[in-house]
Structures are given as structure tokens and as C-alpha cells.
Amino acid sequence: MILKIRQVGELVLRQRSRPLSMEEICSKYVRDLIESMRETMHDAPGVGLAAPQIGVPLQLVVIEDTPEAIQKLSPEQAVERERHPVAFQVLINPVLTIPEGAAAEFFEGCLSLAGYTAIVPRATKVHVEGLNEHAQAVIIDATGWYARILQHEIDHLYGVLYIDRMNPRSFATMDNHLRIWKDKPVAEVKQALSGE
């Protein structure tokens, strides 16, 4: 079932979500919720969806970055973003650790801020521990765009949106981004928008 994606301004997007119990993880309700989230993410389309985005304040996210989505980028952009396919996965009660190291800035969007984008700095490496849909332990050491997706989706579980982390001068409608900035390097965009 395709669910309604909540938009910025709705309280559920600004609240801390609660962890799921082992009993809940194994319930029919959560199995059905995961399948509906998967269908909703594909329909949007997006590369990730957190339960708060469909109005459910639980620590549950689904992620999938398909080869088809990556093919919409130029080969140079895919390499620059370190973007590689990520098979469908479920993360429950994830704990994110960001090791010291590099950060990267790229335009980022969100299904809960439909039609907008901005430059967002994110760590290029993350460590995540949590559970999958079978209540089995999952450990992920991710880099590049995969690390960005994980940070973005786990932020949702704590009421954080990318607009809280963005370069505010870069905030733009998706139409203007595609028309003006899409093929420009982030450094060039930042320089142009710096006002200097």
C-alpha cells in the first residue's frame, strides 16, 4: 500500500522516534509497515524513507539505491559522489557513529520537502549498528553516497531534517536547481551564492 508522505511542518517530522521491541519487530504490523514503506519509497521515487515520514514515530528506515537511479547522473557525477547501488535493506533502532575524517558537500533532497534541494555537508564515512527486519544484528561501514543516505534517514528518527544542516544560501526549488546548478561543481555554486 502506498502511504502519504508527510511534509515539513508536520509535528511527527520534528519528534524523536521510539525504538521497537523485539516483539514488535517480529509482528505482522511491522512486516506490513515495511512493505508499505518499500512501495511508497519506490513510488515517490526515493532512495530512503524513514517511518516518521509516513507519520509513524518508530526507529525504522528502508533504503535502496538502484542502478537505474544512479544512471540518471553523468558518470563523472556518480564517481564524484561515490555513488554505487545499494540493495534494499531495513534498519531498525539504528545507532550511527561518525568517525573522524572527511566531509563532502552535495545537493540533497528529501521526500518530506518535496520540490526543494540544498547543499548539505555530510561525513563521507559512517558506522551503523542496528537490527534488520528479522531482528538480526546488522553492522554497516558505509562510505560515499551510501553514508549520506544513512545519515539523512537516521536524522529523521531524531526529528532532524536536512534544512537543519544545509548551506542556507543554496536552498532552491528543484526546478531552479535543474535549470541553473545541476551540472555545476558544488564549489562553483557556493562561490556564486556567497554574495561576495
The residues annotated as belonging to the active site are 153
d(CA 80, CA 154): 23
Residue with cell 517530522: 13
Residue 133 CA: distances (Å) to CA of 7, 47, 91: 26, 18, 7
Residue 68's contacts (CB-CB under 8 Å, 6 or more residues apart) are none
Helix locations, the chain, DSSP H: 22-25, 28-43, 67-70, 75-80, 144-156, 174-176, 186-193
Cell of 46: 526515493
Residue with cell 509482528: 27
Please count the CA atoms within 13 angstroms of the CA of 4 that sit on its side-chain side: 5
Task: Check the CA dihedral 123-162-112-19 and report its sign.
Answer: positive
Can you name the residues that pair with 125 across neighbouring β-strands?
143
Residue 131 CA: distances (Å) to CA of 25, 149, 159, 171: 9, 17, 20, 34
